[in-house]
């Protein structure tokens, strides 16, 4: 995983990139068609994460990782 800045990498964790658990109740808010994928290794841990804006949980997840993902492109 390449980060745009060294400080951004310091705050990233594999748990932060993990998908929203399937049992989580999320608001039915559609944030747009943007999608992103992060694949590689982070501190020796494999990462293969997909991001979208399909509901409130995914929007919040994108925002938590905005330093890595950037603003959604619509």
Q: What distance in Å separates the CA atoms of residue 52 and residue 59, rounded to the nearest whole number?
A: 7
Containing 37, the helix (H) or strand (E) segment is strand 35-42
The dihedral built from the CA positions of residue 42, 45, 46 and 51, taken in this order, carries a sign that is negative
Q: What distance in Å separates the CA atoms of residue 72 and residue 37, rounded to the nearest whole number?
A: 12
pLDDT(2) > 80:
no
CA atoms within 13 A on the CB side of 19: 11
pLDDT, residue 34, reads 96
pLDDT(61) > 90:
yes
pTM over the 0.75 mark: yes
Do 9 and 3 contact (CB within 8 A), yes or no?
Answer: yes
pLDDT, residue 56, reads 98
pLDDT(18) > 60:
yes
């Amino acid at each position: 995983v390449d980060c745009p800045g060294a400080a951004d990498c310091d705050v990233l964790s594999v748990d932060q990139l993990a998908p929203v658990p399937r049992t989580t109740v999320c608001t039915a808010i559609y944030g747009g068609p943007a999608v992103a994928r992060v694949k590689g290794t982070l501190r020796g841990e494999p990462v293969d994460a997909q991001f979208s804006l399909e509901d409130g949980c995914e929007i919040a997840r994108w925002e938590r990782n905005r330093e890595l993902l950037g603003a959604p492109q619509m």
